Structure 1
């Protein structure tokens, strides 16, 4: 079975690079340096013009995934904005205080996103019981789970990724993400049996404009999506 590549981006330039490199699906965010937040309506509108499916991150702030009523309302409105923009799907996640999935809130978000594709994001990687969370995600109607196997990086969570891929038995896709590169993608796929890979495919960029850095308008070290790395990842996957 061919392995599908999803690339996460957080800018107009990132969108163009992902498409140019051959991404088969895009996760659209802002602020990838904190794991991705909901992007602007303008970026959503631009992404809807891309020739590949785009799923938009629905996450109103950085930090944990425990959301109050105000954040819930923001998320519901952002789902509406994603639909109105014509995007293919949404990326959702919410936690309870003990790390388990907030099934009640997720059910509300899933209902709001009816007719759209749905990915459960790496809030999954904080759960105390992966098997329980897997069954909950299936019951809620998610298409896939983005996970590193409850590790910080997917290469360190391969045993659990394999377990999840086996246990899912085709009922939901397991998409491996975090720390995946063209150099290790084949090894991870062979060791886990996942059929989808998620990666940022970014390269470091150092800002040398001292004014921008000094005023705080730019961090000296940044990362940008590279069409070259995306193409290298596609080549690594096509060789399987």
Structure 2
């Protein structure tokens, strides 16, 4: 394996529909994050979407988030999340994306331990619950201790570009023990600078475009939401190409 292959930057694209799965794969995403309802930050995807992705041949991690809102989960939430993790395993997907918080915003290590145990044998991504924590370095240490393989973060800011300094601090603190994946607002225009500034080797993006036409009748009845976007294969392709360019510069 060459140095470039070992150190290459990987692109994860979040999708919430069969069309999104197809677009992300066509555009060259390395991995998919499967969700429902990306307009609210992503919820647990349907069994059908998981099965479709499992048959695609592209690695796909399923979001485990039973409802919109915060990440403070009670026993009933954890039971549902555990059953959803079992579904992910049964369908042959390689991993899950999850998080849990205390009312203070700190990671709920006890709840996460329950979920991690339930997900034994699956890959683990800690989602942006880390961006709500008062001390992301402490939260990163908890993620490492629990056995997560990566953390998705915007550096505790609205976008990864705004939080780039904190992301770089997390990369430095991780020292290769866990992967730091930059996400939120990552585009083909800013990805190269973000990667160079932070040192991340994974980026996460929706690569979404607003639909050309919004059905106002459906909007009126609430069947579509303002701000909804659709995964765009060309945007995925441009982002993947930008990443390849930085790889060529750094690791000839």
Q: Which runs of 5+ in 2 are unaligned?
A: 1-6, 247-252
Distance 2:227 2:140 in 1: 36
Give the TM-score normalised by the residue count of structure 2.
0.93
Deviation at 1:211, TM superposition (A): 2.9
Partner of 1:140 in structure 2?
Answer: 146
Q: 1:12 aligns with which of 8, 18, 22?
A: 18
Is residue 145–residue 174 contact of structure 1 (8 Å, CA) maintained in 2? yes
Does 2:86 correspond to 1:71? no
**1:1-240 maps to which residues of 2 (within 5 A)?**
1-219=7-225, 221-240=227-246
Deviation at 1:93, TM superposition (A): 0.1
Q: 1:208 to 1:26 in 2, by over 3 A?
A: closer
Cα deviation, 1:51-73, whole Å, max 9, x if unaligned, reads: 21100000000000000111110
Q: Which runs of 4+ in 1 moved over 4 A?
A: none
Cα deviation, 1:96-115, whole Å, max 9, x if unaligned, reads: 01011000010110010111
Deviation at 1:201, TM superposition (A): 0.4
Distance 1:46 1:66 in 2: 30
Is residue 207–residue 218 contact of structure 1 (8 Å, CA) maintained in 2? no
Is residue 146–residue 175 contact of structure 1 (8 Å, CA) maintained in 2? yes
Q: 1:35 to 1:219 in 2, by over 3 A?
A: closer
Partner of 2:249 in structure 1?
Answer: none
Partner of 2:4 in structure 1?
Answer: none
Q: Which runs of 5+ in 1 are unaligned?
A: none
Deviation at 1:131, TM superposition (A): 1.2
Q: Which one is further off, 77-86 or 218-227?
A: 218-227
Q: 1:208 to 1:143 in 2, by over 3 A?
A: closer
Q: 1:127 to 1:209 in 2, by over 3 A?
A: closer
Q: 1:108 to 1:221 in 2, by over 3 A?
A: closer
Is residue 39–residue 225 contact of structure 2 (8 Å, CA) maintained in 1? no
Deviation at 1:208, TM superposition (A): 4.2
Distance 1:152 1:181 in 2: 14
Deviation at 1:220, TM superposition (A): 5.5
Give the TM-score normalised by the residue count of structure 1.
0.97
